Amino acid sequence: MMSEIFIPYISFQLRTGKRLWVDAYFSAKLDERFRIAGLIRESVERSYVNSALKLDAILSKDELARTFSEILTEVERKLKLVKIERGKRFGRWSFFRTLFLPFGHSKNLSQDERLSKMQIELMQSAEILRAVSDCTVLGDTGYISIKIKDGLPEDKIYRRLYELDEGFRKEFDEVSKKFQ
């Protein structure tokens, strides 16, 4: 069964004059706030939306610029911690892995892979958030339409967030049940 919801987005402008939009509903529901960087889009639908299928904005235009700055500070702090943790582990691990790899140290490998993925995700988010942290909030509201099939979002970005972020997944499940 397929249904559809309309997600509110708030507009803002970069110093370069480029206009962007950020999700004003799910961005407030993320467990890992830095993933808001993935919810920024270049364009949204601004046409009439079915009010019975639309979500109300949680993130206000007044909070937007401050939110970007706060999250950027948080991301930079987490990124330092992840780099330190990987550095500690990698220094010891790089020497011993050549000796003990045949003995099955998959725990160390999987932990380093997890930290590596987190570091990459944090670095990508930091780059985006640095670019938008000194934005001018325009405050216009637009909507994007997300199709829901079998309880899962069809949009690639929302699907990936559904897989990665527990807070997003819980809220999306509630929303999709509400609009079926």
Rounded Cα gap, residues 49 and 7, in angstroms: 10
Residues 60 and 142 in one domain: yes
Residues 120 and 140 in one domain: no
Question: What pLDDT is stored for residue 137 in this prediction?
Answer: 95
Take residue 132 and report the two structure tokens written for it: 């938008």
Residues 79 and 164 in one domain: no
Question: What pLDDT is stored for residue 178 in this prediction?
Answer: 85
Q: Are 12 and 149 in contact (CB under 8 A)?
A: no
Question: What pLDDT is stored for residue 84 in this prediction?
Answer: 87
Residues 9 and 60 in one domain: yes
**3-state DSSP assignment of residue 3:** strand
Residues 144 and 115 in one domain: no
Residues 140 and 60 in one domain: yes
H/E stretch holding 166 reads helix 166-178
* Count of domains observed in the chain: 2
Question: What pLDDT is stored for residue 95 in this prediction?
Answer: 60
Distance of CA 100 to the CA centre of its chain: 37
Q: Which stretches of the chain score pLDDT less than 70?
A: 1, 46-49, 89-109
Residues 125 and 142 in one domain: no
Q: pTM of the entire structure?
A: 0.84
The DSSP symbol for 56 reads P
pLDDT tens, position by position, 23-62? 999 999 999 999 999 999 998 876 666 777 889 999 999 9
Rounded Cα gap, residues 47 and 50, in angstroms: 10
Which residues, 6+ apart, have CB-to-CB distance to 46 below 8 Å?
Answer: 140, 142, 143
CB atoms within 10 A of CB 79: 18
Q: Which structural domain range is residue 83 located in?
A: 69-131
Question: What pLDDT is stored for residue 88 in this prediction?
Answer: 74
Residues 73 and 122 in one domain: yes
Residues 25 and 42 in one domain: yes
